[in-house]
Each structure stands twice: as structure tokens, then as C-alpha cells.
Amino acid sequence: MLTIIGKILKELKKAVSGKDQQLIWILSAILAEGHILLEDIPGVGKTTIALAFSKAMGLDYGRVQFTPDVLPSDITGYSLYKKETGEMEYQPGPLLSNLFLADELNRATSRTQSALLEAMEEGQVTVDGISHVLPKPFIVFATQNPTGAAGTQLLPDSQIDRFMIRLSIGYPSAEAEAEMVRNRLSGNPLNTISQIIDREELNDLIAAVRNQFISDEVIDFIVRLVSATRNHPALEAGASPRATLAVTSLSKAVSYINQRDYVVPNDAANAFLHALPHRIHLKADAEARGQRSEDILRDILAQVRKPQI
């Protein structure tokens, strides 16, 4: 018999073929109260994945296609003068939703990109000096085109660090691509996705993940892993304490999806490999040698002793 997690994943696969691991990690980040950054070329299904999650979880959905002329108020909303009352009335923007899709985020100006920071970190937006609390849950699903693509600019480190995970969707296999074509012969498969849970049930799942047991030994293991990035000879800059919190939360979600109520070292190790690649910066000579962030993290994981639990 399928668990709630199994039912959600089964429903998502109606619209997303051959990307089971990516779906699991996105779901893990959602349960860990994190935000997701998808980086890839256009057309590989990033937007479809975001829409599939919103449908399967019954989430209010907001979307902005980022272009250089999008303003911060296009996202956060604005105040409008009401003649009837003689007062300014707040008009909510698309950011006030459960799942906000920031499509092609790195095409926007830095001023517009920064409008997301308060929402992602503090769960609120401030317009004309008045703060407006965002609904729970609140998830930012951002997509970006590869660095150097036409019309793009780098996201600032402060914003990159606020995403719990960064994933690449990649090209589908030949079998998955053929299945995708067959699924679309009778219409858009997104229309076939049924709602499995609602917002309150998702909040309950998030609360259950938050309450997962994690021992002092595993916490110490996570701290040692993240600390090792700060003095690795191939890295210009290591991960921040926010990364330690992200790995801890993601570890709890991984353990929950694996149907345990406690975190084991392997949960932490897998979370470390997925929450850290976008948070560390390689030195120029390391990049010249063809090293990647993932290689450095695996090297650290091999050197840091796992606790025996």
C-alpha cells in the first residue's frame, strides 16, 4: 500500500517522465521548508515540474516570467489609492501564494531579484513600510538558464545561498522522451494530475519532518562536514552556517521519506551532497584542472569520519 509520499510521487510522474530522483529531492526540499532552484536549458520541463507539484498538493500558485523590465512591485504587489475610502489599499502580488514560480530568474535585474530575499528568508513582504505575512507553506520554485546564456546575469551569492537545493533536470532518456510524447497524444498530462493532499495536510507533513529525531552525533557530523569546506585547499569560500541548517533540515526530510522517524548518517551525507554544490566557490586553478563542486564534496565526505550509530 502506497504511503502519502508514494501517492504524491506517483501522481507527479503522470506529467514528468524519467526524473524520479529529481522529484524526490524537490519533495524533500519542500518538506524541509526550503526553496528550489532549477538550472538548465529551456524546454526540459522545469515549469511543468513546478505546476505538477502545485496541482498534486492543492497549492495556490503564482508565476512571474522574469524579464529585464519586470519591477519589484510586479512581484510583491503595490498600494493603490481608493477614492471611496481616501486611503491606500494593498494590492497583493503573485508572490503571496503557496508556490511561487520565478521563471528564468536570472534574466531580471538585480533590483528585482532582491525583491525575493525578504520573502525567502522571513516569510513576509514589506510594501510602503507595511509588512504582509506570506501564506504557509511558502515555496519559491526558481528556474534559471545556464550562466552565459543570452540575456542572463549571475544571481548574487546572498540569493543563491537562500535556495536549499539546486538541481539540473537534464535531457530525458530515449525511453522517457518517447513516453512523454505518448502521454501528450491525448492532451496535456498536467490536466490528469489529481490533488493528493491540501495545504493543511502539507503543513502537517512539514511539522512531522521538523519533529524528526536527530542525535547529537549526527549533528556533530553535519557540522564537521560543512566546516571542512571552509579550509579545503581547492575552495575560495566555504559554506555558511545557513548551509549547516539546510543540511540538517534536508536530512530530516530524507529520513521521513525513507519511512524512519530518526536521522542516520547516510541521510546527512546525501543531504550534504545536494545542499552544498551551489554554496561553495572553487579557486581558479581548481576549475582549470576540471574539478567540480560535487567532486570536492565527495572528497570531503570520504575524509570526514561518519559516526557509528
pLDDT in tens for each of the 309 residues of the chain?
579 999 999 999 998 888 899 999 999 999 999 999 998 877 778 888 999 999 999 999 999 998 888 998 999 998 888 888 888 888 899 999 999 999 988 888 888 887 888 899 889 998 888 889 999 999 999 988 776 666 677 788 888 899 999 998 888 888 888 888 888 888 888 888 999 999 999 999 999 999 999 999 999 999 999 999 999 988 888 899 999 999 999 999 999 999 999 999 999 999 999 999 999 988 888 888 888 889 999 999 999 999 987
Distance CA 171, CA 169 (A): 7
Q: Note whether 66 and 101 are same-domain residues.
A: yes
The verdict on residue 202 lying in a domain is no
Number of domains in the chain: 2
Q: Note whether 180 and 40 are same-domain residues.
A: yes
Write down which residue in 157, 192, 227 finishes a domain. 192
Q: Note whether 24 and 54 are same-domain residues.
A: yes
State which residues form the domain around 269. 212-303
Q: Note whether 24 and 163 are same-domain residues.
A: yes
60 Cβ contact partners less than 8 Å away, ≥ 6 residues apart: 54, 97, 98, 99, 135, 199
The verdict on residue 308 lying in a domain is no
The verdict on residue 12 lying in a domain is yes
| CATH number, domain containing residue 279 | 1.10.8.80
Pairing of strands 99-103, 139-144: parallel
| CATH number, domain containing residue 50 | 3.40.50.300
